[in-house]
Amino acid sequence: MLSYFKQLSLNRTAWLLLAFIAFALEATGIYFQYGMELVPCVMCVYERLAILGLIIAGLLASISPRFFLTRWLALFIWGFSAFKGLALAVKHHDYQANPSPWNQCEFKPEFPQTMPFDQWFPSIFAPGPVNCSEKQWEMLGLGMPEWLIVAFAMFALAFVIVLISQFKRAKPQYRSVFR
């Protein structure tokens, strides 16, 4: 099984699939904001940034998946984005499950001064005047943070499997001239 995942990580299509799935999640978030007119909170903006990290990881590795440094840099970005997104989604769920005056998110995102995503791309990363403890949407009894917990947990699990597979030696592929 690990050999299979090692071969997948050396394949451009697998990395493009990662980027496509993350892009679909990002597009869904944009649809919720503009199509359904749901206002994103600060935690939603942070979670969008984690999904953007997954897109970047998939696109970066798809440039040259067989090159060691590119693949490992993409794996690092993938792992960081998946686990950071999972932690953010769990914290967002906590805000909604345990609303209280002392358990609230910020009103303005705290991006580094060198990367103010809310100023560079306000249509995607600028939050609205919404508290993170408000539930704006539900499907099958789960709110947006719970669905993001599921999504980020799947990304994190896939990352762990692919990371472990990187230590598996790939079988040498012999090419016969006469075959």
Kindly list the catalytic residues. 41, 44, 48, 105, 132
Beta bridge partners of 100: 103
Strands 142-143 and 138-139: antiparallel
In this structure, what are the phi and psi dihedrals at residue 178, rounded to the nearest 5 degrees? -95, 5
Cβ-Cβ contacts under 8 Å for 19 (sequence gap 6 or more): 54, 55, 57, 58, 59, 62
The two structure tokens encoding residue 149: 């917990």
Name the residue type at position 115. M
CA distance linking residue 33 with residue 136, whole number of Å: 11
Separation CA 62–CA 48 (nearest Å): 21
Spatial separation of the C-alpha atoms in residues 10 and 68, rounded to whole Å? 10
